[in-house]
Amino acid sequence: MPTPTATQKSVDRANPAPHLGEFHFGDRAFKWFTLSMATSVFLLIVLIGVKLASGSTLSIQKFGWGFLTSSTWDPGHGVYGALPFIYGTVVSSAIALFIAVPLSITTAVFLTELAPLWLRQPLTIFIELLAAIPSVILGMWGFYVLCPWLQAHLCPWLKSSLGFIPFFQGPIAPRNLLAAGVIIAIMIIPIITSVSREILRSVPGLQREAAYALGATRWEVTRIAVLNYARKGIIGAVILGLGRALGETMAVTMVIGNDPKIPKALFASADTLASVVANQFGGADNELYQHALLEIGLVLLGVTIIVNSLAQLLLKFTNPGLKPQH
C-alpha cells in the first residue's frame, strides 16, 4: 500500500489534477458498484412479485377472488380454491403460537434475568443450534418419531379430556394438523426466544435498580421493571415468530398429512399454503395447475410480507439499536 512520499506529495500540490482525477474515478466507480449491489434488494422484491404474478395469471383470471373463498381443490377437474390451505395455515400457526409463545418468553426471561451465569451461554448456544436444524430433518424426525408419539399418547389424551369440543373429535390420523402445529412451534421457539432475549437485555439497568432498591425480589424485579418495559418489543418478537410460522414448508409437509380439504378437527390431515405447493408441484402437469399453485405462493407472499413488516415496525419502534434477526 504505497503511502504518498514527500516527492509525490509535492507533485500533488504542484499538479493535483491527474491524481485527484484518478482517486475521483476510483472512488466514484466503487461507490456506484456497491450501490448497485445494495439496491439489488429492491430489484429482488420487484422480481419476486412480478414473476409470481405473471406465473399465476391463468388462475387469477379464471377464479378471481373466488380463489380465496372456494374450498374445492380438485386438480383432476381443473377446479382450484385455496380456502382449505388458508385455514390450515391459520390453524397450524395458531397452535404453534399457543405452544411457543409462553415457552419462548419464559425461556427468554430465564436466560436474561433468573438463570445462574454459568448456565446462560451454553443454553443460548443450544437454542441457536435448535434454530439451525434444517426443516427437512425436523420433518423426518417428526414423521418417524413425533407423529407416532402424538398418535399413541397426546391425541388420545386430548380427545378423551376435551372431546366435548367438536375440534377435538374424530378419528386420529397418523399425520395431522396438531403435529404440524407442534413441529412449527419447535421451529419458531428459537427465534421468538432470541429476539425477546435481546429486547429484555436492552432494558436499562437503571430500571432494574429502581425495583431492587425498593426491596423487590428477583421475580418482582423481572415482572415490574423488565417485562412491563419490554412489552411492545416482545409483541414484535411474537409477530416475527408468526411470520416464520406462516412460511414453514418442509417440516410441515412431512407431518401434516397432505389432505387438500378443510380439516374437520385437530386430528385430521390437512395442508397449509406452503405444504400443498411443496407436495403437489412435482405432479403439476398442466399449466392451470401450475398457475394455481403459483397463485397460492402469491397469497403466501402477501401474507408473510405484511406480517413481517408489522413485526419489524414494532421492533424498530421500541428498540432502534436491535440487531437484524434472520
Residues 28-57 that bind another protein (CB under 8 A): 29-31, 33-35, 37-42, 44-45, 47-48, 51-52, 54-55
Among 93, 222, 269, 319, binds another protein (CB under 8 A): 222
The residue (of 223 and 261) whose beta carbon lies closer to another protein is 223
SS3 151: helix
CB of 160 to another protein, least distance (A): 23
Beta strands in 107-149 (DSSP E): none
- 123 sits near another protein (criterion: CB under 8 A): yes
Residue 175 and residue 201: Cα distance in Å, rounded?
A: 39
Contacts of 132 (CB under 8 A, 6+ apart): none
The residue (of 83 and 133) whose beta carbon lies closer to another protein is 133
Interface positions, 248-277, toward another protein (CB under 8 A): 248-250, 254, 274, 277
The residue (of 235 and 274) whose beta carbon lies closer to another protein is 274
Residue 268 and residue 262: Cα distance in Å, rounded?
A: 9
The residue (of 33 and 157) whose beta carbon lies closer to another protein is 33
Among residues 98, 82, 238, the alpha carbon closest in space to that of 181 is found at 98
- 26 sits near another protein (criterion: CB under 8 A): yes
Please choose, out of 65-73, 90-98, 134-142, 154-162, the segment that lies near another protein by the rule CB under 8 A: 134-142
C-alpha cell at 72: 374445492
Interface positions, 162-221, toward another protein (CB under 8 A): 186, 189, 193, 204, 206-220
The residue (of 73 and 253) whose beta carbon lies closer to another protein is 253
The residue (of 70 and 312) whose beta carbon lies closer to another protein is 312
Whether 258 and 180 have beta carbons less than 8 Å apart is answered as no
Contacts of 296 (CB under 8 A, 6+ apart): 82, 85, 273, 276, 277
Interaction pattern, residues 71-110, with another protein; x per rule: CB under 8 A:
-------------------------------xxx-xx-xx
Distance (Å) of CA 118 to CA 43, 92, 122, 123: 46, 36, 8, 9
In DSSP terms, 74 is beta-bridged to: 79
Among 155, 235, 237, 246, binds another protein (CB under 8 A): 246
C-alpha cell at 222: 423481572
- 117 sits near another protein (criterion: CB under 8 A): yes
- 228 sits near another protein (criterion: CB under 8 A): yes
- 137 sits near another protein (criterion: CB under 8 A): yes
The residue (of 265 and 277) whose beta carbon lies closer to another protein is 277
- 138 sits near another protein (criterion: CB under 8 A): yes
Whether 252 and 180 have beta carbons less than 8 Å apart is answered as yes
CB of 183 to another protein, least distance (A): 9
CB of 46 to another protein, least distance (A): 10
Contacts of 311 (CB under 8 A, 6+ apart): 236, 237, 239, 240, 242, 243
Vertex 142, ends 141 and 143: CA angle to 5°? 90
The residue (of 74 and 220) whose beta carbon lies closer to another protein is 220
Phi, psi at 74, each rounded to 5°: -135, 85
Q: What is the DSSP letter of 75?
A: G
Residue 81 and residue 296: Cα distance in Å, rounded?
A: 9
Q: What number of chain residues touch another protein (CB under 8 A)?
A: 111
Count CA within 13 A, CB hemisphere, residue 38: 6
CB of 253 to another protein, least distance (A): 9
